[in-house]
Structure 1
Amino acid sequence: MKHVTYGEKSLFMGDDAADVLLEYARVVADTGKADTVTLRSISPDGNTVEASLLLNVSTVLMTESTHSDVEPPDNSASVEDIRERIERPAAMPAEEAWDRPDYDATATL
């Protein structure tokens, strides 16, 4: 189980979910895009919740180990989905750069 801090919110989730979340946040930031993921977690009050997290270049995310004996919620399907998303950017061909016309903003009409 790992303690995940997202912004000012703290959640507990399984090691595999926390690790893949952190890795995917890095991939999303590297591409300069944004995406959302939903993972089952344990909130600070002890309830099992579904947390949806927006990941982008500005995401503040930290994971740390914990010695909790609590059984983490099952995220096996979500972890597999996120792993596929991690592989997707590497498999996609690079986009061609957009060749914009060079406009002279100081030119008079």
Structure 2
Amino acid sequence: MRIIIYAGDEYLTGDDIADALLDYSRALGDDDRAEIIEIPVRNESGEVVSAKFLIGPASQIVTEAVETPGAELVDTELVGRLRHLTASIERPTSAPLASEDVSNFEIDGAH
């Protein structure tokens, strides 16, 4: 498990969730964007609740590994979605232009 330290508070979540949140936050910062992301965390009573984080260029997030009793928090769907979003920022995809679109481009002022 990992503790996420964010805005002076601590949030306990799973290793993969914390890593995916950090990676996405870094990618958003590199792209000068911000997003609100909701992740599962364990509260002081041991219940699993959700927490929302505003992540992006100004985010200051730290994680720390901790040993805790109980099962690791796992959300494979969330981790997959965050990894996909991170990859879409780091390696954007584009469709090739049709040949008729290319023929209308001006290069160095030439027609």
TM bucket, shorter chain? 0.7 to 0.9
Return the letter of the residue paired with 2:66: T
DSSP 3-state at the match of 1:21: helix
Q: 1:50 to 1:80 in 2, by over 3 A?
A: same
- The CA distance in 1 between the partners of 2:50 and 2:23, in whole Å, is 19
**Any stretches of 5+ residues in structure 2 without a counterpart?**
95-111
Identity of aligned residues (%): 23
**Any stretches of 5+ residues in structure 1 without a counterpart?**
94-109
Match of 1:91 in 2: 92
Equivalent residues of 1:6, 1:60 under 8 A apart = yes
Q: CA deviation at 1:38?
A: 1.0
TM-score (norm 2): 0.76
TM-score (norm 1): 0.77
- The CA distance in 2 between the partners of 1:15 and 1:35, in whole Å, is 21
Q: 1:31 to 1:66 in 2, by over 3 A?
A: same
Return the letter of the residue paired with 1:12: L
Query: What does 1:1-109 align with in structure 2 at a 5 Å threshold?
Result: 1-89=1-89, 90-92=91-93
Match of 1:103 in 2: none
| Count of matched residue pairs | 93
Deviations 1:40-83 (A, max 9, x none): 11123433111111112111100011011321333211111100
Match of 2:106 in 1: none
DSSP 3-state at the match of 1:22: helix
Cα-Cα RMSD: 1.4
